[in-house]
Chain A
């Protein structure tokens, strides 16, 4: 793995460890040093395609490979000219969940990071527009966390408001009701 050796040579202090699974290599990077490492990977080693960016919650993880912190943010990088694959990981503690944003390097990271923030509650420092993406803006909780229940009994509070709004707007309705002047 050429890229990995170059990376270790350039940033000996930022690489926390490496592991291999199913023939794919992952590198753990210190979260404070993530941006320089990523810039180097993008500019020098030609990892131009950020294939995927996602977060994983390891609460209650029973595997043999112990995890240092609760969350992990995973970057799957691919180099189209070099045809090389590399996975970069960042451990994120539960108490202070933040990661530097890589939107300045890959624009595609914009929505990926918003999704991770929405689903796991990890903040991305330096992100231009960190809002919820898939869930409504006033949703409470982060659904992909392991302690978030699969089913919820309660009704979403904003749903009541929506129903009320729909009632008010029904005066603009077409068809028979309007003709009758209701």
Chain B
């Protein structure tokens, strides 16, 4: 029998009341950012034990993609971290391209970098909005959503979708940018840095904000690496590990940007890191836009890229059947995607998003494994919450920036 809600009916003064009080937080809770369920044992307001229970959004993405062709499985990756779907697509495409040995054209790499950084900004904006709302700064919420709306409108112009974009494809991107989109993006990058400054004036030295974030969920650098934290959550502790710098992909080698790191590894530092990352993302988009004019008119899909309708199996051209005997000579199978395995990771807005793809030579992946940053971050919650109170748990969930679609897959 699965554990369900038990209604406790104990009389007052019963000895069992002395035991730790058990509370289920979630799965339906506004500040768990999805269907995260936390099993808490409390002593007054202090947390004695915290045990995250996940799986409420488990859709079996890994099993499903084993039964689809490579191009079909890409659509599933949109549904991982649905706030930054473009970054998920890019990671998957990079993995399959590495198996195929494809070289992506420069223009496509620049376009991918732009959509990835747009995803980063929109993800961080949503994080800031909800995180601030959770711990009591109401004003930022609507301002952030206003700017995110702007980005989503640009996404709509790029590919027709706002949330699940599926804009990159194996071997490049689906469509080139029109001049209208480039103008829009120029306007966005022009105005956005001043917006970040606006948000910072709202909460940077806000007394409530400082009280809720300074010294909360402190984690040292070694501990953070050992717990597998990546992305801004790790950089807040002072480790400059960024996949964009350590294992550059797409056009990150040719653009200039800095990796902001924190010092004390508390919630406030992670907030500062993310704010600074938005500025850097804006800078990257700007540089890529300038470089786009150099590659005007070049193709956006690699020459040897597989068709969107990928065959499950491919045969060598068959020998002509003998007219008298009338039987077909069976052709040998040619691998659609060469046999092999690859682990490719990208710097998604939440952290390191890794894809481990195993191919057996057919048109369907043998195994697609997604290393989701949110999965690892949720597993670190019990460690981060040690010695804190229930109200700080909200700050911890917010600062880790978890998305349950990615965690449960």
Partner-B contacts on A (CB < 8 A): 21-24, 26, 48-52, 54, 56-57, 61-65, 74, 76, 80, 83, 85, 87, 106-108, 110-111, 119, 133-138, 143-144, 148, 150, 158, 161-162, 165, 169, 172
Q: Which residues of B, 1-35, contact A by the 8 Å Cβ criterion? A: 1-5, 7
CA distance A110 to B51 in the complex (A): 13
Q: List 10 A-B contacts (CB under 8 A).
A: A22-B99, A48-B225, A48-B226, A63-B366, A65-B339, A107-B383, A138-B1, A161-B1, A161-B2, A169-B5
CA distance A114 to B57 in the complex (A): 17
CA distance A91 to B375 in the complex (A): 25
Say which residue of A49, A135, A144 sits within 8 Å of B62 (CB atoms).
A144
Say which residue of A80, A85, A110, A133 sits within 8 Å of B55 (CB atoms).
A133
From B121-129, B162-170, B341-349, the one touching the partner chain is B341-349
Say which residue of B4, B239, B375 sits within 8 Å of A111 (CB atoms).
B375
With both chains docked as a complex, state the minimum distance between the C-beta of B371 and any C-beta of chain A, in angstroms.
4
B215 within 8 A of A: no
CA distance A48 to B2 in the complex (A): 37
Q: Which residues of B, 343-363, contact A by the 8 Å Cβ criterion? A: 343, 345, 352, 354, 356, 358, 360-362
Determine if A49 and B228 form an interchain contact, defined as CB atoms under 8 angstroms apart.
yes
Residue of A nearest to B372 (CB): A52
With both chains docked as a complex, state the minimum distance between the C-beta of A162 and any C-beta of chain B, in angstroms.
6
Determine if B226 and A52 form an interchain contact, defined as CB atoms under 8 angstroms apart.
no
Known A22-B98, A22-B101, A51-B345; 16 more pairs at CB < 8 Å = A21-B340, A22-B340, A23-B98, A51-B343, A56-B369, A108-B227, A108-B228, A108-B380, A110-B379, A111-B376, A111-B379, A137-B3, A138-B1, A150-B64, A158-B1, A165-B5
Q: With contacts defined as CB atoms under 8 Å apart, how many contacts are there between chain A and chain B in the complex?
A: 115
With both chains docked as a complex, state the minimum distance between the C-beta of A75 and any C-beta of chain B, in angstroms.
10
Complex contacts, A21 vs chain B, CB 8 Å = 340-342
CA distance A56 to B356 in the complex (A): 10
Determine if B98 and A150 form an interchain contact, defined as CB atoms under 8 angstroms apart.
no
With A51-B343, A74-B356 as contacts: A108 and B3 at CB distance below 8 Å: no
Closest 7 CB pairs of A and B: A108-B228, A21-B340, A111-B379, A134-B55, A52-B371, A54-B369, A63-B360
CA distance A134 to B58 in the complex (A): 7
Q: Which residues of B, 221-239, contact A by the 8 Å Cβ criterion? A: 225-228, 239
Complex contacts, A56 vs chain B, CB 8 Å = 358, 366-367, 369
With A76-B356, A133-B54, A172-B7 as contacts: A24 and B342 at CB distance below 8 Å: yes
B263 within 8 A of A: no
- CB-CB contacts of B198-213 with A at 8 A, as 1s and 0s? 0000000000000000
Complex contacts, A49 vs chain B, CB 8 Å = 225, 228, 241
Complex contacts, B369 vs chain A, CB 8 Å = 52, 54, 56
Complex contacts, B354 vs chain A, CB 8 Å = 51-52, 76
B317 within 8 A of A: no
Complex contacts, B409 vs chain A, CB 8 Å = 134
Complex contacts, A52 vs chain B, CB 8 Å = 343, 354, 356, 369, 371
With both chains docked as a complex, state the minimum distance between the C-beta of A127 and any C-beta of chain B, in angstroms.
13
